[in-house]
C-alpha cells in the first residue's frame, strides 16, 4: 500500500476509464459478458482502496454515448449488469459511507433502471466518506452541450457574451465536485475517448496496459506513485509543491 506523510500526495479526485473487459475475456476464451462481469467486481476493491488512501471523489466511465453502437446483445448484457450492480452493491456502499451518483443522459434507460438510480442517489445522498460517480450514457461533448442548453434555459434572452466559464460550470454533470486530479485509463489505449473533456483540462493522464479486470489496489498505488512525481503547473511558470520521493514507500 502507498504510504505518504503528506495529503498533497493523494489526489482529491480520480477518474477512471475502465477499458479492457472484452480483451480480458477473449484472452481466456470466455464470453464478453464474463469480462464485463469481472470488471464490475473490480469496482468494489477500487472504491475501498481509494477510500482507504484518502481520495474523496472517484468517477468511473461505465458506458459512453458511443457504446450504443455495440452489438445489441452486448448492450443488453451491460444494462442488465448495471441493474444488478446497483441492486447488490448500493446497500453495502451505503453502510461504508459511500455517496453514489450517476451522471449522463438517463432518458435512454428503461424506467426501472432510472428509478433505481434515483433511489440509490437518495439513499446515499448524505454519505461523506467518498463520492462514487458512475458515468453512464455519458459523453464529454454531450455534457458541454447540455450544460449550455441548461444555462440558456436559466437565462432566457441573455446574449451569448454573457456565458462565462463560471456561469457554465454549475450546469455541468460534475457540478460541485473538483475537477479530476488524475485520470487513469486501463487497457493500453492512450486517449480519453470523449470522457469529461471540460473537467480534464489540467488533469494528469495515466495510461496503463493493465486490463481493467486485473487492475488491483497495487495497480492503483503504482498510478499514485507516478502522480506524486508530476509537476502540476496549471498553465503557470512555477510547479505546485510536491512531496519528496523519499516520503513515499510502496509496499
Cα–Cα–Cα angle for 49, 52, 54, nearest 5°? 110
Concerning whether 143 is annotated as a catalytic residue, the answer is: no
| 66 annotated to bind ligand | yes
Annotated active-site residue in 67, 105, 127, 214: 67
Rounded to 5 degrees, what are φ and ψ at 26? -60, -40
Instruction: Confirm whether residue 185 is marked as ligand binding.
Output: yes
80: Cβ–Cβ under 8 A, 6 or more apart, which residues?
A: none
Is residue 141 part of an annotated ligand binding site?
A: no
- Distance CA(206)–CA(226), nearest Å, equals 8
Nine-digit cell string for 34:
464474463
- The answer on whether 242 is annotated among ligand-binding residues is no
Q: Is 238 annotated as a binding residue?
A: no
Does 204 appear as a known binding residue? yes
* Residue 19 assigned ligand-binding role: yes
**73 is known as an active-site residue:** no
136 contacts: CB under 8 Å, gap ≥ 6:
62, 63, 82, 102, 103, 104, 106, 109
Contact call for residues 68 and 60 (beta carbons, < 8 A): no
The answer to whether 158 and 211 are in contact (CB under 8 A) is: no
To the question of whether residue 192 is assigned a binding role by annotation, the answer is yes
Residue 65 assigned as binding residue? yes
Could you list the residues known to form a binding site, using ranges.
19-24, 32, 36, 64-66, 68, 70, 185, 191-193, 204
Could you list the residues known to form a binding site for Mg(2+), using ranges.
19, 204
Could you list the residues known to form a binding site for substrate, using ranges.
20-24, 32, 36, 64-66, 68, 70, 185, 191-193
The residues assigned a catalytic role are: 19, 67
Amino acid at each position: 500500500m502507498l504510504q505518504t506523510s503528506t495529503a498533497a500526495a493523494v489526489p482529491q479526485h480520480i477518474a477512471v476509464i475502465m477499458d479492457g473487459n472484452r480483451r480480458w475475456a477473449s484472452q481466456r476464451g470466455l464470453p464478453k459478458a464474463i469480462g464485463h462481469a469481472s470488471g464490475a467486481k473490480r469496482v468494489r476493491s477500487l472504491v475501498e482502496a481509494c477510500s482507504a488512501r484518502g481520495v474523496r471523489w472517484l468517477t468511473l466511465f461505465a458506458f459512453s454515448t458511443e457504446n450504443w453502437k455495440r452489438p445489441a446483445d452486448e448492450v443488453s448484457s451491460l444494462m442488465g449488469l448495471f441493474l444488478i450492480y446497483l441492486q447488490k452493491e448500493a446497500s453495502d456502499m451505503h453502510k461504508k459511507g459511500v455517496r453514489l451518483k450517476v451522471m449522463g443522459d438517463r432518458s435512454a434507460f428503461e424506467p426501472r433502471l432510472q428509478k433505481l438510480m434515483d433511489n440509490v442517489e437518495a439513499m446515499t445522498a448524505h454519505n461523506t466518506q467518498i463520492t462514487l460517480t458512475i458515468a453512464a450514457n455519458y459523453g464529454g461533448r454531450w455534457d458541454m452541450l447540455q450544460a449550455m442548453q441548461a444555462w440558456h434555459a436559466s437565462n432566457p434572452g441573455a446574449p451569448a457574451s454573457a456565458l462565462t466559464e463560471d456561469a457554465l460550470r454549475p450546469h455541468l454533470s460534475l457540478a460541485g465536485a473538483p475537477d479530476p486530479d488524475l485520470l487513469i485509463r486501463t487497457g493500453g489505449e492512450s486517449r480519453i475517448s470523449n470522457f469529461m473533456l471540460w473537467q480534464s483540462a489540467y488533469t494528469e493522464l495515466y495510461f496503463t496496459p493493465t486490463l481493467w479486470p486485473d487492475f488491483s489496489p497495487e495497480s492503483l498505488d503504482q498510478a499514485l506513485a507516478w502522480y506524486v512525481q508530476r509537476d502540476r503547473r496549471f498553465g503557470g511558470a512555477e510547479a505546485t509543491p510536491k512531496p519528496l520521493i523519499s516520503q513515499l514507500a510502496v509496499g
